[in-house]
Amino acid sequence: MGDKMASYAYTNISVGFFAKEAEIFKAYSNKITFKVLNVEKSPSAQGYKQHSYNIIITSNILHATESLHITLVNTRKLLKPGGYLLLLEITNNNPIRTGLIWGTFAGWWLGVEDGCRWAPTISPGQWHSALRKARNQSLQTARLAEELADNLRRFCGELTVLNSLPTDEEALNLAPQSTFINLVDINSPIFKDITSERMGGLQRMFELAKHPYHISSITFSRVVRRESGHVNLGHLDVSDLQQSDVPKAISKHLLQLVALDEWETPAIGADGQEDQQRILWSKESEAFLDNGTLLLPRLVNNVEQNARLNSARRTIYKEVPIRSPTVTLIPPSGTSPPSLAEPTSLVQRKSDSLLWADSSSLMALNVHSDSYLFLAVSKEDTTGRPMLLLSTTNSVAMDPIATLETTIDARTYAKNPSESSSRLLVTAASEILASSLLDHLSPGSSVLIHCSNKDRFLAAALSRRASGAAVKFAFTFDSDNKSGTEDSA
């Protein structure tokens, strides 16, 4: 669950297990708490607030109790209405090794009086019955209007089926605060070729409705929900009316919405104050029934889009695999430091055309005229000798536009590839920079260059090229870098 949980309570029957578990979960120490819990006893008597947890996760723990029913009832007391119990238990009693190992523990025989004579583990069918008895959810896997009426009749004081939107005469016979299911959209979209008569029928339905859960225009429904807060409006779309159990699904969805609306209404306590019930079930204003599956629209966190939006305000950090061929080094610009990035769109190339870079230049170099390319060092696959690459991108895996093999011995390079590739990169980059600088100088020019010891390769390249270009260079160094003057002058 990672950072998606607000809090997590780790329980055990003894504090003796907590030291080891605290070390395992130390990454979540700000969210996790460790508590003692005997699930055979009342949770509230042990300091737990009833109906306070969204999810309860148990692993091979609930079976080892004197009364499974009491254990499940106590577990249910901890769950919010609509909460989830994730239960992992052994259900196969056939392997003899299970009883031979665990039968030496007294806890294995706690459920003898509860009917578990030879082992506390029970079958899936027995779990089914036990969960239903404890009021947990079971382990489960004519015409539409008439079938809906049959499904809903026992829940209604009075049920009326209309052939269309209510007329003035029909509206007189409908009780105020009624619940409506509108099926008009099934035959034809309700707002296609809308007439004043049909609009009047809609108005009468909304005037009379308490819970107008109907299939109508989503846009219209959203407007009504926003502008008429007292109207509890739901929208259920069905992909195919021929799929099985559509009437049952609509009936169930309607009853859930009605029940949730009632349960969400604050009750007045003995002290005269409103007591808002805390339930986990959510009242869905829009839903879609697709082949028996109820789909709910949700706003999902889009990490990439959020990062792009927030990048205008702050630096965005992201962990990326450094050996991934899609990782690209972005040069610094302005106040922005260099960064690693994964491009959102890449031209897919064959793997045999890609070369892995051992080192590369941070900035693109002026290799010719107005052409700027990244310089990198890689290894030749067959000989193992280092080679120079020129590429339009500065990524780990490059598809170079030019390569140059060197005569450096492969064994010498392999002894310390990091240092060797860095030295070769600096030497080659110095030659490219020197050539680019001389291209912008006129013959007879005199240039003063202030260097550090780290610039000795560039100074050497400029000195070597100076005579042929009729350009004179003078180099100055800080006092701490005098050792480099002989190499560079």
Task: Identify whether the C-beta of residue 289 lies closer than 8 Å to the C-beta of residue 244.
Answer: no
Predicted pLDDT at 120: 80
The pair of structure tokens assigned to 106 is: 């007294």
Cβ within 8 Å of residue 256, ≥6 positions away: 281
Please provide the distance, in angstroms rounded to a whole number, between the alpha carbons at the two ends of the chain: 62
Predicted pLDDT at 270: 61
Distance CA 301, CA 270 (A): 42
Residues in the chain, pLDDT under 70: 1-2, 125, 135-143, 163, 184-192, 205-217, 219, 265-278, 320-327, 334-353, 480-489
Predicted pLDDT at 430: 92
pLDDT in tens, 24-46: 888 888 888 899 999 899 999 99
Task: Identify whether the C-beta of residue 286 lies closer than 8 Å to the C-beta of residue 218.
Answer: yes
Give residue 167's Cα distance to chain centre: 50
Cβ within 8 Å of residue 161, ≥6 positions away: 145, 146, 149
Task: Identify whether the C-beta of residue 261 lies closer than 8 Å to the C-beta of residue 284.
Answer: no
The letter for the amino acid at 22 is A
Task: Identify whether the C-beta of residue 421 lies closer than 8 Å to the C-beta of residue 408.
Answer: no
Task: Identify whether the C-beta of residue 438 lies closer than 8 Å to the C-beta of residue 454.
Answer: no
Task: Identify whether the C-beta of residue 249 lies closer than 8 Å to the C-beta of residue 205.
Answer: no
Predicted pLDDT at 158: 81
User: How many other CB atoms are there within 10 angstroms of residue 252's CB atom?
Assistant: 14
Q: Hey, what domains does the chain have and what are their CATH numbers?
A: 37-133 (3.40.50.150), 144-263+282-295 (no CATH), 307-436 (no CATH), 441-488 (no CATH)
- 137 vs 43, 71, 129, 141, 226, CA distance in Å? 20, 16, 10, 11, 34
Instruction: Please list the alpha-helical segments (H only) found in 311-455.
Output: 410-415, 417-439
